[in-house]
Chains A and B, each alone.
Chain A
């Protein structure tokens, strides 16, 4: 297919079976690894020049990440005349990347102008493959004005070159106090033999690794292969002792509700929502040893057909009232600090149950963490190369797939 594929060395290596070999070599998956091209100084201008507003935007997001009535989108359409086609098509980062990669690689539209990408392994894959459009910050005035400064220093995308946050969340421990019979305060509780077979962990290798690292007294941010091995050993110990019931994806909420697990790794907003919608009384804590913070981010794929409409929508969510209205519903960490005052104001104007709820949201450290909370939160492990990432995967994989 390309000269590189059929280089002289390859041909020599193939030897006698070269005819079949050449045929086999011609089929495969082509990569796009040239990130330099997209961060060139004129990249922003190159991408955005000549692009105009088209009156519509296709938005791919995770499920349960907006009020089903979509009040914010209605308001956006009223204000700008842009129609939003909102779809909850992203369930997991790996499969989503695998699904859109062939189209992006071929330079075709994926049918979406806006997608919410977590700062996972795949964020790096999207960025390094040159699949993300560089953002024109002159078109993001509300972001510049209202976003918390710490969001400009995120290790996975310093300076928000390709992404701005949709919402952040905390990974901590959720538990059912009726079942555990005592308060859960630390990661060590996940290793307590008293809870044999009743502990839930995440199947996502990064989430799992982070807790292994923190439990072993290591920091995810500056960890390498040696630390990963120690963390894996710590997790293996937990597994071999029969403590872990299962390694879950989003289904952990259900497992907690059904008594399958008593305490589990959990994402902050989920537990808040579960308690509100099912009347349960689960607790969520940030462990003493620390928890992790992740961010789901707005990104525009390079092949987007309506990027101008997309970036307008991104900025719209950074107007204080819109950020507040979103946080009121989803209860994840809001990237706009001023939204806290707005929610308190809404709470004052509301009555009854709404009032209680909004007051709770405004005061919740899970939606607006204080400095003390942030001090306990760690970012994910960063990878410099694909090999590093594969090594990481191969160290933690035997725990979840055995």
Chain B
């Protein structure tokens, strides 16, 4: 079979094409705003001001960014093995259970810096455990991981509602949530850091889990590009048949990749549960697991790209809230639309502009070559 697409230089492949895709996604989002009868440029202005214009806005932006780095990395790691982990939502939910177990057990006895590592380990373990079953079923029994992870999202949601309503809520409370953690179960906020720069973070919940997120980025970089298993993961993702010939066990790769992916998704819970609410609540994930898909696609599954894309989506979430306040006709659901468009254009339609860009590039390089030839003839 002939290759469907011609090969382009790397910088066009990883730079120009994704950029064009994302820009088109945002242009279409602008059209949607126009359709509703608002001025898109005005909307962008409000959005950027709301996300970055003042200390509290930046604090909220960073808070959301932290969530999306974790879930984006989770999806990205799975992408490298050719797996589509759509279950970040459920894995993050279970991760919250791990965080709550650690915090509820330790918060009265030890300071936060003892609780944090324990909570980190438990969050990752719980998230990984929730990804293990779909991984095992895909690797050993051939059930499609996309379908099983979707099913596991729903099962996780039912399980957590049951746990929170019937078992984890304090006696006499009607609220489906755990008791509020004491000081030993709360993460320090970034307010002090903001003061160094002379800014006031206000009520924004940004906290030190953002450093855990950045550490996770470094870990993912080393794991994927600097370890043997990372090499095997990439080999499997690029060509599973060749990987098997090279003696790589796809069963092992699938399971290890999904464990890491689920663990990263589980870590996301540190931020809202220990950092913001200081208790485990129903539905604290709030779609971050799904935003991770857009973030990973936009960031081309590279940690640096993920951080940038997560920051952009963090801006969209915080700026979108301000936008909904200033332009009541545009509700916060605009973010979901933008997310959908990014997934559509950067994911499903990623090859749409390739022929055009390829032709433009060919034209550019031939005209360049002609110029060089012409100059050589002159001299």
Q: Do these two chains really belong together in a complex? A: no
Interface of A with B (CB < 8 Å)?
Answer: none
